[in-house]
Amino acid sequence: MAPETPGTEPQALSNLLQENRRFEPPAALAAAANVTAAAYTEAEADRLAFWERAADRLTWAKRWDTTLEWNPPFAKWFVGGRLNIAYNCVDRHVEAGNGDKVAYFWEGEPEGDSRTLTYADLQREVNKAANALTELGVGKGDRVAIYMPMIPELPISMLACARLGAIHSVVFGGFSAAALQSRIEDADAKLVITADGGYRRGAPSALKPTVDEAVAQTPGVEHVLVVRRTGQEVAAQERDVWWHDVVERQSDQHEAQPHDAEDPLYILYTSGTTGKPKGILHTGGGYLTQTAWTHDAVFDLKPDSDIYWCTADIGWVTGHSYIVYGPLANGATSVIYEGTPDTPHRGRFWEIVQKYKVTILYTAPTAIRTFMKWGDDIPAKFDMSSLRILGSVGEPINPEAYVWYREHIGGERCPVVDTWWQTETGAIMISPLPGVTAAKPGAAMRPLPGITADVVDDQGNSVPNGGGGFLVVRDPWPSMLRTIWGDDQRYIDTYWSRFEGMYFPGDGAKKDEDGDLWLLGRVDDVMLVSGHNISTTEVESALVSHPKVAEAAVVGATDPVTGQAIVSFVILRGSAEEGADIATELRNHVAKALGPIAKPRQILVVPELPKTRSGKIMRRLLRDVAENRSVGDVTTLADSTVMNLISEKLPSAKSDD
């Protein structure tokens, strides 16, 4: 029987998972925190004044006249203000006497391959690159596509564009020629910056042939600027120029011109589940204001003592906002790592934490669950006592993964901040503050000061505490996307049409009894079982809370009796054996945790799950398997062989009852 409460309206999304653990901020951290609870009251009293103070952290060539111009759904922030984003990220720190401070400790994948860039080094490199781009005919407003491995020339290229007012479009280095080509075309880029290749899983992996294939179809590209990284053979094309030829001989002096706060900074394409990729457009002033403020507040950044490491790829928004723009605007010292966590061994991340004495680590739930699967003994071999704050982003973090992260990586002393945001939001929107919030494992907790997020039902009415529904944002925020590149109508339709006057990010969420927010996954993935809308997240979290399970993905598959039935794909932990009755054990475990309505019809033990390059589970493909269809478009899969491994496992499917 379904756990129904008689007399209440059916809810947009069921609230099944109960979680009572709470972790108070460590007293010493709270006492010295950059941001205290007062920030919430201040922002509530005057939201625009709050964001003005945040913008005052930046150096403006001309202060703005109007803080916000809001012609729904089009926002302009800091109107009339002028600033240079690269100057804010680099030069002003050098001018303040911090030229010798390290901006990036870069660690290549091959062991021993590392580089250190101080702010003064970065200034010289960015200036040279800006001069080279100018020589190649790139000017303000031009689009530059960047398709690179995780090497220092990637942020240098982005900053060189920002310095000139050119608009960069970073395309993740793992995407296909077709994906790159469509993005180059959509943005009409005139320059592509790439490398011969990069290192991945212990071997050089070529990039240049993909670029050649893509630009063969894009006559608008005048030049391809190529960094030599691996030394692989490169088929030279007429429009190619080598970075070491063109950039190295430039002057390291370049005068940054101020740009309008609302001049475009970059385009970043998000694939979405269907249709052509959306070019999310961000502008300079508001974006840098919110990325810098959130990086300072959410990670309690102490620029003089912290060593900060965000493990994301720069080709993903997390890398843009929290490897490049936010940390540099704050004068932070960051680690950048080129490779994968298991090369040359599964302790690589912890070795890097130990080597650089990392204090703040920001990674994704998918990585955390993988580390859980590999076993507790691996991180235990390293000295990670430098860590003081841990962050999570990209997917809901299951309570069990959160607690594991806190215990085995954070030594039970580090607060974990679960940060909800999107490419479209530009910066963190919902998150605990490490010195303020008594965090609950699995909850993103509260909107940050200055952000007005809520959970509404399908009529757009705010749900009461204890209720589930749709996440919305009520008021514009500084780092919001300004539009979809070249398609205002699609911007309106996608984000502002579902609920009148509110931004709809496409995620489900619930408010618990205290009013704290829990993200419940994409609403497209919600399962409708016997008339109940059940979130994938809650069932997955219940599965991961079983000691034998490391990772889980669930989907709704058509079922003659219940409409949809829950089909689960699970990866077992390193030490767990796949016993004969594991399926029964897990099904009962979920029923006990969430109620019988959430009991999966089927449990499939699989070796891997299909994930995007940024680690998000592609439930759409699992739905194909669960409904016995041939598997759909796999082009954005990180590893396209995964689906074969899963399909092979199908015969072991158990469908009890």
List residues near ligand 6R9 by CB under 6 A. 270, 316-318, 393-396, 418-423, 444, 505-507, 519, 522, 614
Nearest CA-CA partner of 407 in 437, 441, 438: 441
**Closer by beta carbon to ligand 6R9, 396 or else 468:** 396
At residue 114, the 3 state secondary structure works out as: strand
Q: Which amino acid would we find at residue 83?
A: L
Least separation, in Å, of the C-beta of 511 and ligand 6R9?
Answer: 15
- The residue with tokens 């040359």 is 344
**Closer by beta carbon to ligand 6R9, 36 or else 270:** 270
**Closer by beta carbon to ligand 6R9, 285 or else 442:** 442
The whole-angstrom separation of Cα 229 and Cα 465 is 53
Least separation, in Å, of the C-beta of 9 and ligand 6R9?
Answer: 26
Least separation, in Å, of the C-beta of 256 and ligand 6R9?
Answer: 28
Least separation, in Å, of the C-beta of 369 and ligand 6R9?
Answer: 14
Least separation, in Å, of the C-beta of 322 and ligand 6R9?
Answer: 9
Structure tokens at 493: 């339709």
Least separation, in Å, of the C-beta of 609 and ligand 6R9?
Answer: 16
At residue 640, the 3 state secondary structure works out as: coil
Q: How many helices (DSSP H) and strands (DSSP E) are in the chain?
A: 22, 30
β-partners of residue 389 are 360
**Closer by beta carbon to ligand 6R9, 123 or else 423:** 423
**Closer by beta carbon to ligand 6R9, 232 or else 270:** 270
Phi, psi of 397 (to 5 degrees): -95, 125
**Closer by beta carbon to ligand 6R9, 129 or else 417:** 417
The whole-angstrom separation of Cα 328 and Cα 288 is 10
Mode of pairing for the β-strands spanning 549-559 and 114-118: unpaired
**Closer by beta carbon to ligand 6R9, 119 or else 362:** 362
Complete DSSP assignment for 293-304: HHHHHHTT--TT
Least separation, in Å, of the C-beta of 280 and ligand 6R9?
Answer: 8
Contact present, 570 and 652 (Cβ < 8 Å): no
Least separation, in Å, of the C-beta of 423 and ligand 6R9?
Answer: 3
- Could you tell me if residue 200 is left (phi over 0), alpha (psi between -120 and 50 degrees) or otherwise beta? beta
Least separation, in Å, of the C-beta of 429 and ligand 6R9?
Answer: 9
Our CA dihedral for 150, 151, 155, 157, rounded to 10 degrees, sits at -120
Contact present, 296 and 210 (Cβ < 8 Å): no
**Closer by beta carbon to ligand 6R9, 106 or else 316:** 316
Nearest CA-CA partner of 113 in 204, 234, 241, 195: 204
Nearest CA-CA partner of 154 in 338, 287, 423: 338
**Closer by beta carbon to ligand 6R9, 60 or else 499:** 499
Least separation, in Å, of the C-beta of 67 and ligand 6R9?
Answer: 25
β-partners of residue 549 are 572
Nearest CA-CA partner of 73 in 414, 403, 499, 575: 499
At residue 328, the 3 state secondary structure works out as: helix
**Closer by beta carbon to ligand 6R9, 550 or else 617:** 617
**Closer by beta carbon to ligand 6R9, 121 or else 186:** 186
Least separation, in Å, of the C-beta of 5 and ligand 6R9?
Answer: 26
**Closer by beta carbon to ligand 6R9, 129 or else 281:** 281
**Closer by beta carbon to ligand 6R9, 422 or else 647:** 422
**Closer by beta carbon to ligand 6R9, 191 or else 509:** 509
Least separation, in Å, of the C-beta of 303 and ligand 6R9?
Answer: 23
The whole-angstrom separation of Cα 601 and Cα 584 is 10
Burial of 63 (0-12, 13-18, 19+ CB in 10 A): middle
Q: Which amino acid would we find at residue 592?
A: K
Nearest CA-CA partner of 266 in 197, 181, 164: 164
The whole-angstrom separation of Cα 494 and Cα 78 is 25
**Closer by beta carbon to ligand 6R9, 439 or else 444:** 444
Distance of CA 438 to the CA centre of its chain: 23
R_g of the chain computed on alpha carbons: 24
Contact present, 324 and 330 (Cβ < 8 Å): no
**Closer by beta carbon to ligand 6R9, 186 or else 507:** 507
Contact present, 62 and 258 (Cβ < 8 Å): yes
Least separation, in Å, of the C-beta of 565 and ligand 6R9?
Answer: 23
Mode of pairing for the β-strands spanning 191-195 and 167-170: unpaired
Least separation, in Å, of the C-beta of 320 and ligand 6R9?
Answer: 10
Q: At what angle do helices 284-298 and 47-55 cross, to 10 degrees?
A: 90
Least separation, in Å, of the C-beta of 318 and ligand 6R9?
Answer: 5
Nearest CA-CA partner of 553 in 627, 615, 619: 619
The whole-angstrom separation of Cα 378 and Cα 395 is 24
Nearest CA-CA partner of 434 in 362, 504, 510, 487: 362
Least separation, in Å, of the C-beta of 81 and ligand 6R9?
Answer: 26
Structure tokens at 336: 């950048």
Structure tokens at 656: 């009890």
